[in-house]
Amino acid sequence: MIKPVVIALFLLSGYQSKTIQDDQVYDMTEVDHPPEFIGGKTKFYAFLFNNFVSPKDEDSYMGSIIYLSFIIDKNGKLINAKIKKSTHPKIEAAILKALKKSPKWKPGLNNGIAVSVKYSTFVRLEPSP
């Protein structure tokens, strides 16, 4: 008789733990496997480059560094993109517009479960070759 009660408590505690994980957004350092753009970082930056539409007065932005963050949710969707630091509102808008077009990523994993993860990176604007 004791065994079914123990199993029921174990299943219940596992369910509660999963519910908490569903709502939680992890930092990159808190997960076993961080989210990954299909094809890796090089492909992610190529995606940004191909989808970034530069403002007309682009010469004044060259050399700028824009720090950004976003969340890759447990389904691999890029959400909540934000500019953390920048000096050019036109560039910010162009980068956010490009990020909205992102295809799905491989989601981050924690203990083998797909979880939402905050991802931070930066972009440096350089003249095209």
Q: Return the pLDDT at 22.
A: 64
Q: Return the pLDDT at 88.
A: 77
Rounded to the nearest integer, the mean pLDDT of the chain is 80
Q: Return the pLDDT at 124.
A: 83
pLDDT tens profile 80-110: 999 998 777 888 888 999 999 999 999 999 9
Of residues 85 and 3, more confidently modeled: 85
Q: Return the pLDDT at 10.
A: 35
Q: Return the pLDDT at 129.
A: 59
Report the greatest alpha carbon distance in the chain.
Answer: 76
Evaluate if residue 24 carries a pLDDT over 90: yes
pTM: predicted TM-score of the whole model, two decimal places: 0.76
- Model confidence at 55, pLDDT cuts 50, 70, 90, reads confident
Phi, psi of 93 (to 5 degrees): -60, -40
Q: Where are the domains positioned within the chain?
A: 25-124
CATH 3.40.50 given to domain 25-124: no
CA distances from 89 to 55, 75, 78, 99, 121 (A): 10, 30, 21, 15, 18
